[in-house]
Homo-oligomer: A and B are copies of this chain.
Amino acid sequence: MSRVSLRGKMLPPSPIRKLKPYDDEASAAGKKVYHLNIGQPDIETPQEMLDALKNIDTRIVGYGPSQGIPEYQDALIRYYARHNIDLKRENVIVTTGGSEAITMAFTVCMDPGDEVLIPEPFYTNYNGFAIAAGVKVVPVTTRLDDDWQIPPIEKIEALISEKTKAILICNPNNPTGKVYSKEELSEIVDLAIKKDLMIIADEVYREFIFSGEKHTSFMNFERAKDRVIVVDSISKRFSSCGARIGAFLSYNSDIMKAALAYGQARLCPPTIDQIMAVPSADLGDDYYKEVVNEYRHRRDVVIDTLKEMDGVEFKSPNGAFYIVIKLPVEDAEDFVIWLLKDFHVDMETVMLAPAEGFYSTPGLGKNEVRIAFVLNVEKTVKAMNILKKGLDVYMSRS
């Protein structure tokens, strides 16, 4: 009798966490491990934000409003104006990371037993949030061979049941790096209207598009105004993963009312971290340009090495800072463990995320891994060369 609920038992342990013992073992054996497996960038948090943190001068670290401190709500409003998204404070609830915004969205749009459509492979934690909320994820499979495009809309429509209440789209996509076209998004909007679904838009990688085109937000579709929730986060945009500052945005006043009630129950998001986040909104084009250039450079370096690797399939990602590649192996997890346990180049090795954990359909992604461009170019070059050599050795074992 463990007294754990069914959903508690179903909560998936993090697929990355699962391999942590091998990572620790490698380190203990004196190996240096390049971590391309997690989304923790090495880019510095903007100085303006670190300064704001330094300058906090309070005697009491008190509650803020449940919807966020007005200074940060207004900062977000200024940030979104850059993207031609016109928000008022009533459209903004500051959350504890994008994570809380997703849980909030699942809770206010869905009841236990309801279903949410999500293109797979997807950010693994959607699964955990769904299980905790008692909601069922129905995967919409996308494939490397189709350049990770959204499948024909009839295929998605066929997955919709009476219990389907929402579709969650992550754009640019984690883990594939895919940036969906305006046409693809428009079709999703039409489907949502036809089938009366909410659209939960995880757009936290909005700034990271390499081709130079501007991001299209679901909030840009006037006809979907009352059925879109945007999930925001400063974690990646301003390399502030540990601040846990996100936001829940919507023009639907009923949804906002329910989300605020949810927000009032948990009182408020962290006050200090919001104060730190305020100046982020006023960073200029130069900041974004520099960061995007850096990630583009890393992507190019990764792609250059991948091109030299026998039997590896991939599409060059146009956004976020991830790529999912197909390896000429049977079991990518076995390969990742082998890299940590049995391989090194001058006592250095590399860690990747097996992609199976990003799929909901059993069996998919077994020979795929996700690479995160989170290390600087010099380290990425080293890590990718180790990966290349490692795959050669792994494939040539008898």
Contacts and interface: CB of A to CB of B under 8 A. Distances in A.
A268 B242 contact: yes
Interface residues of A, number: 85
B40 A50 contact: no
A243 interface: yes
Interface in A257-304: 257-262, 264-273, 276
A140 to B, nearest CB: 20
A99 interface: yes
A42 interface: yes
A110 B269 CA distance: 25
A2 B40 CA distance: 37
A397 interface: no
Contacts of A127: 265
Copies of this chain, count: 2
Interface in A189-205: 196, 198
A56 interface: yes
A53 B59 CA distance: 12
B272 A243 contact: yes
A318 to B, nearest CB: 25
A5 B128 contact: no
A218 interface: no
B56 A44 contact: no
A19 interface: no
A62 B273 contact: no
A100 interface: yes
Interface stretch (A6-14, A82-90, A152-160, A208-216): A6-14
B61 A242 contact: yes
A96 B42 contact: no
A255 to B, nearest CB: 6
Given A242-B64, A244-B268, A266-B125, A108 B5 contact: yes
B13 A264 contact: yes
15 contacts: A1-B196, A2-B255, A5-B107, A7-B112, A8-B107, A11-B258, A11-B262, A11-B265, A38-B63, A53-B272, A61-B243, A61-B276, A96-B96, A241-B267, A270-B272
- The 4 A-B pairs of least Cβ separation, nearest first, read A128-B265, A242-B271, A112-B112, A2-B254
Interface of A: 1-9, 11-14, 17, 38, 40-45, 49-50, 53-54, 56, 58-64, 66, 96-97, 99-100, 103, 107-114, 125, 127-129, 132-134, 165, 196, 198, 226-227, 239-244, 252, 254-255, 257-262, 264-273, 276
